Amino acid sequence: MTKDLLDLDATPERLQALAAAGVLPPQVMERALELAVASPPRAWWRRFLSTTLMGLGALLVLSGVIYFFAFNWAALHRFGKFGLLMAAIAAAALTAWHLGERTSGQFALLFAAVLVGPLLAVYGQAYQTGADPYELFLGWGALILPWVILARFGPLWLFELVLANTAAILFWDQVLDDANPTALQLTLAALNGAAWIAHELLSYRQVSWLQGRWLPRILAVMALFPLMIATEKLAIDLEVEHGPLQVLCTALLCGTLAGMYAFHRRVRSELFFLTLGAACVLTLVTTLVGHAVFDIMPDVMAFLFMPLVLIGEIGLVVLWLRHEARSRGTEDT
């Protein structure tokens, strides 16, 4: 679906192009430029600062709770530890229920969800359950899942996904010790990629709480990073015979990059995704060029030549990104 031109941001370059085409008369051009480069109103700054300070305050309080238990661990009785943590979780959950879907209420629920982990850790230490660390993170994610579903809060969903990634990594390390690490990278890419695709589909269907763009950008990085690790291993060891999973990761990476460009051309012109894809291609191309350069040149000459190659590659990428931004527009906010 091609984007409607009216959905594009009113940048000075687009306004000047409209004026040159005769669409904008000169008498309104000056006012249009003023509106295009105007600073956000005071209410927007107030909301931004309020949300940022609220999130920072919640993180500081959480860190204080964790350090409190770490410092007073030996002095506290196990029932004291349980009582303090459960009281804090109950207070945060009741605050979230009272405040509802306001940002402060969602942060309170995030606070409660994070404290569930220390509660499970205290239980495991007090009663010596013998559970593996991956079971802690798996149970943590399972217990807070109803809150995550009800909250409809992006940071809480991201926290749930981080718990799932951590549980998968620890499970691979502790249970499947001899398993192929590329299979883990493929699993993480599939998990994070599914979350990314689900977010984009729901955002396209105008789900109100998924209209921000910060979360899909983080999900894109989380999905591409495992694929990049596997593909970079293949690019580094070209002479070594690689397994089908590594080849599959490379194919998925190439398909994902192609899909990101198609997304840019057809759905949403977003410079961040183009930059992310260009960074992946730049990394792989630099690795392959470095192989060839160090094979045919002395090491000293190769070390002097490679920075020039990298500068040239970055320059070409910047020119391409500027061309895409001017020709298609961007929605980066």
In tens, the pLDDT along 309-326 reads 899 999 999 998 888 877
Please tell me what DSSP assigns to residue 75. T
Q: What is the mean pLDDT of residues 9-19?
A: 66
Terminal CA-to-CA distance of the chain, rounded, Å? 21
**Claim: this prediction has a pTM higher than 0.85:** no
Higher pLDDT, 102 or 70: 102
**How far is the C-alpha of 253 from the C-alpha of 43, rounded, in Å?**
42
pLDDT of residue 322: 84
Higher pLDDT, 47 or 109: 109
In the predicted structure, residue 76 carries a pLDDT above the cut 90: no
Assign 2 a pLDDT band (cuts: 50, 70, 90).
Answer: very low
Assign 167 a pLDDT band (cuts: 50, 70, 90).
Answer: very high
In the predicted structure, residue 7 carries a pLDDT above the cut 60: no
Assign 281 a pLDDT band (cuts: 50, 70, 90).
Answer: very high
**Dihedral of alpha carbons 84, 88, 91, 97, sign:** negative
How many C-beta atoms surround the C-beta of residue 150 within 10 A? 12
In the predicted structure, residue 296 carries a pLDDT above the cut 70: yes
pLDDT of residue 224: 94
In the predicted structure, residue 21 carries a pLDDT above the cut 80: no
**How far is the C-alpha of 296 from the C-alpha of 308, rounded, in Å?**
16
**How far is the C-alpha of 127 from the C-alpha of 78, rounded, in Å?**
9
**How far is the C-alpha of 252 from the C-alpha of 234, rounded, in Å?**
14
User: Nearest to residue 218, comparing CAs of 165, 267, 288, 293?
Assistant: 165
Q: In this structure, are residues 246 and 223 in contact, taking their beta carbons and an 8 Å threshold?
A: no
What residues have CB less than 8 Å from 41, skipping those under 6 apart? none
Helices assigned H by DSSP within the chain: 12-20, 26-36, 42-71, 78-99, 103-127, 133-151, 154-174, 181-204, 214-236, 244-266, 271-296, 299-328
